[in-house]
Structure 1
Amino acid sequence: MDIAPITLPAPSRHDQLMAKAEELEATFLAEMLAHSGLGEMQGAFGGGQGEAQFSSFLRQEQAKLIVQQGGMGLAELIFNAMMEAENGTD
């Protein structure tokens, strides 16, 4: 008895571009969170060097969650610009 491997359909170009646009929005949001100082602990409750080393991972995940919940609309604008550029309509 042969078992066929499970194959998933390749994502469409639309899905690929939207994923990249959302990734870019998440990266932008992570940088904005870093510059805002959100989540930085001061004094005796600070995590020291360990916290400083890994805080970027936390901010990136927080930014991804923000984008999944609708973000700030930047991904849609980026997606539309990429679609226009790909279709050659300026």
Structure 2
Amino acid sequence: MDAITANHAALARVARRFESQALGALLKPVFGEAPKGLLSAGAAEEQWRPMLVEHYAQAWSNKGGVGIADAVYRELLRAQSAAQGLQPGETA
């Protein structure tokens, strides 16, 4: 793997992590408003719910997400090219 490919892979991972965090922030209120059932609303659920939301968000992002990662990835590439003084689409 050459340096450019490794750099693009690293940027893609960062973009997916960002999307995962964004999805987690969107899902958190949904899980907070979930109806309380017979086996829920205990102290254990309160402790584990954030981890469950995080896992759902990561899984959703890893399966393709909702497009946030793609937009972030393109913006990271654009910003990196601009910082290097390159035109969009050029490589160093």
- Provide TM-score, normalisation by structure 1: 0.77
**Is the partner of 1:55 in helix, strand or coil?**
helix
Residue 84 (str. 1) matches residue 75 (str. 2):
no
- Long gaps (5+) in structure 1: 1-8
**Which residue in the other structure is 1:6 paired with?**
none
Aligned residues: 82
Moved over 4 A (4+): none
Structure 1 vs Structure 2 CA RMSD: 2.5
**Which amino acid letter does the alignment assign opposite residue 36 of structure 1?**
V
Identity of aligned residues (%): 22
Name the residue aligned to 1:4. Answer: none
Shift of 1:44: 2.5
- Give per-residue Cα distances to partners, 1:24-82, cap 9 Å, x unaligned: 10011111111122784504321411111111111111111111221100000001101
User: TM-score, length-normalised on structure 2?
Assistant: 0.76
Cα contact 1:29–1:63 (8 A) shared by 2: yes
